A and B are shown apart, each in its own frame.
Chain A
Amino acid sequence: MLAYISRRILFAIPILIGVNLITFVLFFVVNSPDNMARMQLGEKHVTPEAIEKWKAERGYDKPVVYNSEEDGLLKITDTIFFENSIRLFVFDFGQSDEGRDIGHDIQQRMWPSLIIALPVFVIGILANISFALLVAFFRATYIDVWGVVLCVVLMSISGLFYIIGGQYLIGKILHLVPISGYDTGLDAAKFLILPVLIGIVSGIGAGTRWYRTIFLEEIGKDYVRTARAKGLPEIIVLFKHVLKNALIPILTGAVVVLPLLFMGSLITESFFGIPGLGSYTIDAINSQDFAIVRSMVFLGSVLYIIGLVLTDISYTMADPRIRLQ
């Protein structure tokens, strides 16, 4: 088991290096720090001194990959590439373009993101699977047909409208909960209900349809016919046999996104004014803070790769046929 896990982690390293190189090329080679400075300081009337000052404050005035003026190891370490890219590997995100400590910000902001994303994820999956089982139980009847049509209709509505509609209906007309905002501790609950609810509802269409196809694929298999032939009621067949065997494809989709829950959702957080990582990213995009966007890209890929490793591990637990080689 340990050997298997470490092999998976070893396999992840070249991918992380690749991601790191991509972000480096995107942020420092395609565009020189000069261009960034000019963009940040206003495009036209910028003096070269102002650009130099901007770059020096952020450490972008160093050579890109090789510093010939320094000695020994500093030739490599005192460069933009080392300072801004290699350090990401030890989660040293450095400072944002406005001078804030990104690592500290991330630690602060990942919890509000998680508090919203986790219930959406857990309740959402349970709701989707229950609906899908229900539709699969009534397969090839009108309930199934119209259920699928309803799913497609729900899928065709942009996520933005779920949020706008929910805010308008529940927040503005019914006055049940505040439209947006966030608080710490138990007071947070009244701010969380609406985004969580909307998150679940907006995922039902696509989710139910996806799980329905998985279940239907399993239902067509031989062991289900055997189970029915020996006289098991349909409920038992569905819950005991089909659900268990459908676990592998369900796990593939679910476990991979688990670590990414920390990143939050961009639009939900910005609509509801929640100080999580999603709204952090949006703010960075709007203020064109390259350091933060770069860190988030790297963090996102690290979390995704962790998700991949977790998926592999969860397979071995769910499916005894998979051997750890």
Chain B
Amino acid sequence: MVIEPMPERQSASLALMFAGGSRLEDDRLAGVSHFIEHLYFKGTSKRPTSKEIADSIEGVGGFINASTDKELTAYWARVPAEHMNLGLDVLFDIVTNSKLDPADVERERMVILEELRMYQDQPQDYVQNLFEELIWPGHPLGRDIAGTEESVSRLDRDDIMEFADARYRLPNLVIGVAGALDEGPTLAEVTRNLSLRAGMNGSLAAEPPPPLESPRVLIRRRETEQAHICVGARALSYLDPDRYALDLLNTVLGEGMSSRLFLNIRERLGIAYDVHSFTQKHRDTGYLGVYIGVDPKKAVDAVNAVMAELRSLTENEVAPAELARAKEFTKGRLRLELETTNGVVFWLAYQELLLGEIKTIDEEIAMVDAVTAPDIKSVAAQVLNNPMQMSVIGPFSRDSAFRLAIGA
């Protein structure tokens, strides 16, 4: 459990974060973690309907929600500080006393199937899913967190209850609380609410993805007005000591309107409307990707321009002023994120659950400050040494020019 008193705040944020997410699901169970997250809001023995769950928190002006990720599932609430006990009661209620009513399972199945179809109609998002299929082919990490239409259609109540019973146990749980609270009474209230079963090792026992052999291109033909492209390569895990250098590389490359991609590809060349980079990190793998939204005629030109920016990071050290700006950007974003009790509770619980240690903000900032220009160049070379992968959604029936752009 992690507790962070923030006495100057008016709110308290609470999170129940469980290790395990879609990465632990085999093909048959694909999407079960996400399905469970949906079902836990449908009703409990104490609050039998979703309305009663929502009302209990919204009735005091609070927020309640949940999210499923590839390596964790989080249930959270943010409430006025004097209602912290209510927030804890509701969160523990939904993860321990949910009814999992068969009729709710069927209704929610339809909702999730619609959710999956909705994402396919959003090419900016869908192209990233396709990219992850390329980055982790045939591995649960490469699959949509919500599963596939086939798996969601097949999952039955027994599958759901069995998976929930195995995963929603004490060793898998980190409880985070931050805000205007006293540590002693908070701990006592959490202890009073804890009724999850013990047993089972909480550690992630997932298989690492196999190495990628070669660059590949995946085109999904759609008659869209814009081409949507994700291009990138495997990068570092969140346990890698070079992850700070990777984050700074990402900032220099494509975060914000003063990044290289934005300035060179959008502002100077005028090729793309939206171009930015992003990273994703897991226990044993990760990636650096670039998204481009571009006129289909300029699609390959834009990819070439992105590749040139990437190559430039492996050939030349980032200038001192640019590095300093990237560091200030990263540190500033972290500080802003930690302004809210919600930001703090997620930051702490995430570290405890996945990293196994908690760094203070000063320690984190010191790690960012310690990164040098040669570190960034070295990480860029490491990343670009991996085979490039590219997913494309647009009006294309041939991939040869795209393959040429990434040497596939």
The yes or no verdict on A and B being binding partners is no
- Chain A residues in the interface with B (C-beta under 8 A): none
- Chain B residues in the interface with A (C-beta under 8 A): none
